[in-house]
Chains A and B, each alone.
Chain A
Amino acid sequence: MSSFKRRAPAAHPPLPSTRISAANSTVLTSTGVPAIDALLGGGLPLHSALLLHADRFTAYAKLLLSYYLAQGIASANAICLADDDPQDFVQNLMAVVEGKVPTEVSSSEPDDEADDDDALVLPAAAGVRQLGATREADDTMRIAWRYQGLPKFDASVGVLGRRDVNSQQPFCNLFDLTKRITAAQLNAAGPRMALLDVSSLAADAEANGSPDSPSAYDTLIKSINDLIDHYGFRVRPGAPPPPTVLRIAIHGLGSPTWGPASPQRLAAFTHSLRAALRTSYATAVIMIPHSTPLATATTLAHLTDAALRVDSFAGSSSPVHPAYESQYHGFLEVLKIPRVGCLGARKGDVGRLGFKVRRKRFAVELCSLPPEGEGEGRGDDEEPAAAAGKAKRAHAATGGGGCGASSGGGGHNPLDF
């Protein structure tokens, strides 16, 4: 008899819309953006908190927070949102594209026009592509045969979003930024949603007046703990896990509307939240405003499990290379990756990351400058195939993936967005 045995099935069914990390066997949840999931090592692990440093003048970090919440609603998770106007925040979430998951950007639709195609007009787009097929065959770049089997260079991060075979719920959904979440979806998610209006908490705290009365932060952490206890998200030894996980989103921690806050109070709040997360089936995303002092932000980053900084070009105080500006909307910096219950290996390549927001995609790519002189020669789309190698290099650098000629319509300068 073989000594190899099938591992006995887990005592409890896995939590829906979660995934077990193949690398370190932690339970992962999705942030709603496959690229961010990949940067964090597959997803945001259960019991951990992600800190988002907001960008200046723009709202890309808020967009990431919206993705996190929208993913929670799409996965039928329980949601707790702390914000100045949570009702407004939730109503303005993006719509989920039903029945589709983010897929790898194949060479048939590498550019952003294809990305912006609606599902309904896809057949037409396919037709266009067929028209250009002969051109495509001509333009296929010739490379030495020994390199043909090698994978194509791809600078983009984590565009894979597989549907998990053994669970009904996809790990990560596809969202459409041009549409808002429907009222029906919001109503359906209503019973699982807790909206905490922090400005009213702050007003209450101020009305109380006395220095001993609890501040908005104390009230907030208490209500989060009450939620966890009341709805059974607390980890109890021997007890089965709850039917779903809790997502805690905190928008604008420490903003002036939250009432007076010393760095110690913010840190104590974050530490208490960490303690609450470690003992419950929950994840959290905390967004701190751009005005947070650097020292406070550093302290908070130490007290959370992962930290991302979003820097948009629009709010950048220093000039940005025009080649970057034409390709990306800003830089994304991974300050810290989650290390909860694992050693936590750093994932991905070394280099600067840029992000761009498309209608259905929040793409993160390795930034690289195009070769010298590229981008100046506009209208070089009719260049012979001999130049395709150069175009390919330039395009691969922009992260479109795939050759210039296969970019759907043809006659498209890879740098011309």
Chain B
Amino acid sequence: MSFPLVDAALNWQSPASVQPTRGLSSPSPTHRRQPDAAAVKRQAAGASSERTVIVVSDQVGAEGGFVLNHFIHRHLRLEEQGWIVVLVGLAQTWEHYLAVGKKLGLNIALSQQKGRLVFLDALTHLATGTGPFAHNEGATSATTAASPLQGLLASITAAYQACSSSPAQKKLCLVVDDVSALQSCGLPTKDVLAFAAGCRELVYEENGCLVLLAHGDSVAAGVDDDDGSGVICRSLIHSATHVLHVAALESGLTQGVDGQITFARGPLLRDEEGFNPEVLHYQITDAQINFFKKGFSKGLL
């Protein structure tokens, strides 16, 4: 499932409007509840998600991992456009994404078999520096083994290039679940930022879409952190086109609303692209995720 309201907030064309053949699957209930807002947004010239860098910042009380599912599923649904999703999991294993994908109505195992989704398990390999971190290209390994992140970037590139695509032109959607974990586990901040810059470069080359999750507890609180955990989040925001702040409800806790996402303009978004900052509320249930406009929650109405 991808979420029309999120696409509308980003001013992107929803996969539902791109692919009218998807008539069998009913639109999501949240969409049906506020048809006017979403439809009007979609009719306005919806841009595509090409050449975008999205930074999702979250907090302990309001985890942002669920937002990544939207981007994974959205780009897997846009099969005709040749999107290939590379998912780097530092926070969760493949089983998690599989189970969540099933709940949201997309069999990502099938996409993996078709070669449209590549999962790189960085969680279990980070401590040992094996797996995707130990990618070396022939003889240069001795000199370039400086940072395991260079290995990870090489693995991402290799995985993407190994994917075949039916349209001649393929596009990369790179999703990194939890960039902050790299830094908090002791990798130097400048290496992590270099990795992020490398990802950005790759995505721009391939007309793709980069989605990075970083923890911004101290950024949201506006305090100076002494251990530099907010540096990653702050720096990533500076080179983003869209910034999504996931936070607890600013007005406190409410039944039926788990938190809010602020869609903000990033510094790299070009001025001619129409984009209006917006705040959506969300609720996570066991079966699905509900997004709604401010004040439109079932718990409030």
Chain A positions near chain B (C-beta within 8 angstroms): 23-24, 221, 262-265, 267-268, 271-272, 274-275, 278-279, 293, 295-296, 298-299, 301-303, 307, 335-336, 339-346, 349-351
Docked CA distance A279–B95 (Å): 10
Within the complex, which residue of B92, B180, B186, B286 is in contact with A23, where a contact is CB–CB below 8 Å? B286
Docked CA distance A295–B126 (Å): 22
Query: Majority SS of interface residues in chain B?
Result: loop
Note all chain B residues with C-beta closer than 8 A to A351. 253
Within the complex, which residue of A298, A340, A345 is in contact with B229, where a contact is CB–CB below 8 Å? A298
Note all chain B residues with C-beta closer than 8 A to A303. 181, 184
Question: In the bound complex, do residue A341 and residue B225 qualify as a contact, i.e. CB atoms below 8 Å apart?
Answer: no
In the complex with contacts A345-B286, A346-B258, A267-B226 CB distance below 8 A: no
Note all chain A residues with C-beta closer than 8 A to B254. 350
In the complex, residue of chain A having the shortest beta-carbon distance to the beta carbon of B252: A350
Note all chain B residues with C-beta closer than 8 A to A350. 253-255
Docked CA distance A271–B180 (Å): 12
* Interface check B61, CB cutoff 8 A: yes
In the complex, residue of chain B having the shortest beta-carbon distance to the beta carbon of A334: B61
Question: In the bound complex, do residue B186 and residue A267 qualify as a contact, i.e. CB atoms below 8 Å apart?
Answer: yes
Chain B positions near chain A (C-beta within 8 angstroms): 60-61, 63, 65-66, 92-93, 95-96, 99-100, 103-104, 123-127, 178, 180-181, 184-186, 215, 217-218, 225-227, 229, 253-255, 258, 284-289
- Between-chain CB contacts (< 8 Å), 30 pairs: A264-B184, A264-B185, A267-B184, A268-B127, A271-B123, A272-B127, A278-B95, A278-B124, A295-B226, A296-B227, A298-B60, A298-B218, A298-B229, A299-B215, A299-B229, A302-B180, A302-B184, A335-B61, A336-B63, A341-B95, A342-B103, A343-B100, A343-B284, A343-B285, A343-B286, A343-B288, A343-B289, A345-B284, A345-B286, A346-B284
In the complex with contacts A298-B60, A341-B100, A346-B258, A265-B186 CB distance below 8 A: yes
What's the nearest-Cβ distance from chain A to residue B272, in Å?
37
What's the nearest-Cβ distance from chain A to residue B73, in Å?
13
Docked CA distance A263–B287 (Å): 36
Note all chain B residues with C-beta closer than 8 A to A265. 186
In the complex with contacts A302-B60, A339-B63, A340-B96, A293-B127 CB distance below 8 A: no
Note all chain A residues with C-beta closer than 8 A to B218. 295, 298
Docked CA distance A77–B136 (Å): 42
What's the nearest-Cβ distance from chain B to residue A399, in Å?
19
Across chains A and B, which 9 residue pairs bring their CB atoms closest together, nearest first? A264-B186, A267-B184, A275-B124, A272-B127, A341-B99, A350-B253, A268-B185, A23-B286, A301-B60
Question: In the bound complex, do residue A275 and residue B126 qualify as a contact, i.e. CB atoms below 8 Å apart?
Answer: yes
Choose among B225, B286, B287 the residue with the greatest number of A CB atoms under 10 Å from its CB.
B286
Note all chain A residues with C-beta closer than 8 A to B95. 278, 341
Within the complex, which residue of B60, B186, B287 is in contact with A307, where a contact is CB–CB below 8 Å? B60
In the complex, residue of chain A having the shortest beta-carbon distance to the beta carbon of B225: A295
Docked CA distance A354–B178 (Å): 33
What's the nearest-Cβ distance from chain A to residue B68, in Å?
12
